[in-house]
Chain A
């Protein structure tokens, strides 16, 4: 009787611990977005070249991203770990585009 009670308690504890642990892990792994903002002077082909050079994306993907920036005012061009996002952001700024990072919603 005592043994049974103890085993039940242990199972419940393990289950609770596991649930808490997975929730915590999910919360700390929210990605960071690299956001490029539209400006009215930069030629479109320049934006495509910069995306290709920095991310190595295909011509089609770069063109799609450039058009998103143009029509929607901004585009998320990369998502992932915060430090990498910041480094990509710096590279894009060095290439002359307006860029920031933000935590994904």
Chain B
């Protein structure tokens, strides 16, 4: 049985049981999301800025701005709490949202849009995706 990476304590806090290597992975992913949010040429941009209403030529700028603001806020909160031994619910949600954005952006940037392509993917990319999936799977159990 895989070790639980996040545990909900009796006092309501979420204990982060990641070692330094694990925290480094989270840190790198969160930084990547922050960087991609500020660079329209980034390969993650397509995932971060997907259409809201595909029937329109362009989405409402206020909505896209709100999305960018909320994604950045989550990523920055995750970055600020990356070394904390415990997270509250809001911080855990920021971790989950940001890691989920990173997971989908990683898969999408490598063209992994279906099971067939995932099965034929490079081992390094698959490893990166599996690490993110493990983190998210464990985190979703306690959020």
Contacts and interface: CB of A to CB of B under 8 A. Distances in A.
Interface residues of B, number: 36
A39 B114 CA distance: 7
Interface string B30-71: 000000000000000000001111110000100100110011
Scoring B52, B63, B107, B133 by chain A CB atoms within 10 A of each residue's CB, the highest score goes to: B52
A96 B140 contact: no
A90 B100 contact: no
Interface in A91-105: 91, 93-98, 100-103
B141 A45 contact: yes
B37 to A, nearest CB: 11
Given A93-B50, A96-B103, A41 B63 contact: no
Contacts, number: 88
B18 interface: no
A40 B60 contact: no
Given A95-B100, A96-B100, A40 B113 contact: yes
Contacts of A95: 96-97, 100-101
A73 to B, nearest CB: 10
Interface of B: 50-55, 60, 63, 66-67, 70-71, 74, 93, 96-104, 107, 112-115, 118, 129, 133, 136-137, 140-141, 143
Interface of A: 39-43, 45-46, 48-50, 53, 86-87, 89-91, 93-98, 100-103
Query: Which 9 A-B residue pairings sit nearest by Cβ, starting from the closest?
Result: A96-B100, A96-B101, A94-B70, A45-B140, A41-B107, A49-B140, A46-B140, A43-B137, A90-B67
Given A93-B52, A96-B97, 19 more contacts: A39-B104, A39-B113, A40-B114, A41-B103, A41-B107, A41-B129, A43-B133, A43-B136, A87-B63, A89-B52, A91-B70, A93-B67, A94-B70, A94-B101, A95-B96, A100-B53, A101-B53, A102-B54, A102-B55
